[in-house]
Structure 1
């Protein structure tokens, strides 16, 4: 068994080199890297912004279509390479040969994605002399592992089964459809979101094992039991996971969660108090507005889909340096389709305040309709910052006042601290 695994690893390594070797691999690396660098250059010069854009733009919009061309060529290499390479690989059963070559191709695509992330993070270093932490690279690279696995599996298996590189073009059309019509589709159909990893990871493995079972049947005239059962089991698991995610989340238009609807129904203009918040923070714990009773509350809204809004996080950190932290609570609300982005940004930036994700966000169309909290606050622009007194009554809307800078935030917090404590509101001891 061990010699077989070593031989298959050697074959996967050979496929890795074959995929990257030559003009095609170099062209994809240079093209994707240049586009990622240019995109980062057009955004705020920050490693955090560059890391987020590496996964949102570099992976989803640049590398996916370019890698499909490499995948199609790799899947049909038997028809294009010399006879020596083919003969050397034939002692292996066809299904094992297929799996090894798929792994080699997928690893090559991951290597190209590492280049894309590195080029994105190189931009703030070159233009702004800001170094990215290793954690930023790890997070950005990690967010692309499962999406690339899914798209590579579809392309590779499609070409292998159809025997025609046009199958990769069909996968590209599927990707283009999701890109153009994603605003009208539920989030569960987006294979790039980290919360959908269990779904699309299972579907990708099901496609690979199912194709391997087909190759085994074509080669040995017997399909066996293990591979078809494993493929079918993963397919059912992926579909059940998708169904479970839809019925237990706020994912318009497929499902509307009652709790999220209650959150959206708290209109800020209908009450002197700001709408309540009960959402998971960056550590996975439920954060409630009631936990800050007796404190001035600063609410900041930002989104990785609007990179310029991410600058509000550093402005908040600066504004909070000279305020009594025992009397002030700060909450940064992330409006993102991907639920992991806010936690990643919080750990990379080491921000001294709580960060939550509005898990009902579907960032499309009108801003105030993109998330339950955005609807509750009737957001008109990003970033937006609200400051309340100790009774959570609105004192300042900094976006409307045009004071979205550290000094303006600090001044608004000072005004809120000067407001008398409402009756019945206890102030925590310092």
Structure 2
């Protein structure tokens, strides 16, 4: 198998991203992963403005493309294929990425592969070593630099660059029997889904939100509380100020996860000082519902939870100046979301018996969700593998799109690869693209 070079493009929302990957017998190597974020630009609006995002993509793309080719030390003639997020997302933003990809495909005479955005998020887990392989980093200096990058990965860095790393994919798609079936919990600003995968590139959505996505709910709650944008990190930071959060679960007779008994047990183990601090910290007694927790099936709903936060703050508007109150609201809201997400995932896993559970999407960066889902898996289904993406790959990036494209490229025939040369004629962005 000769080296295969894939250029990947991601512009579904407010990140302009370009990556170049090399697939070989040694695995899948990320030669460059360029990301330009627009968070600061959109923060004053309290959310992403689609047309403004598209204009920024137009401005950023040529610069990022040049940077990517230079860092990867690749010429266009060396590329084997171009991949791009074709949906879902904001249509003005998608149009920029897809049209650039189509133009490059035509000019450079390269096959074009459209990738579903959520598929990319799922395959971010495969980049981070789902087959239990370590990063192939050649020297201590690079290890140190990677460590520093990861330490600061939660921060938004303009035009950030990630160093070359090698991740095994192999000449063929192998070891499927060791990880499949896979159950992926996808949590982002636009999606909340439980996706069952019986093999690579085979998807069945067994549950999804019926209204707001969990990431969207985080953004709206942050806006209600006036704590900044993006809402996910803002709510999580405020929630950390809530002392002695109880995050351990147990299941009741109906396999529904609850922390009520654990909370009472932990109180018994606390010192008198901790009990007093906890009681003072809970002085507002903020309680929110766990939407659809007892509903049959695996669908989600977060619109009502967001509304509950709104009603709570309207009831006590003066308390919005109290940091302790804000911390308690954020903690209770975040915990309500996590309780539902973890409960539904565990219930789905008990029904479908996956070998592996993956966490994917922007909200997968939430440390409490990562930890509590892992705790629940260890307690209730300990034989199930648990994989989470590297924190630097939880947000939108092109490396994840390239990773998904690499698996597509391996799976299609030579005739299909030839047909993809005309992809520039047919590929269209789709804001509501369904994952097949």
* Shorter-chain TM band: under 0.3
Q: Which has the larger radius of gyration?
A: 1
Q: Per chain length, whose mean CA-contact separation is higher, i.e. which structure has more relative contact order (CA < 8 Å, sep 6+)?
A: 2
The structure where strand makes up a greater share of residues is: 2
The structure where helix makes up a greater share of residues is: 1
TM-score (norm 2): 0.24
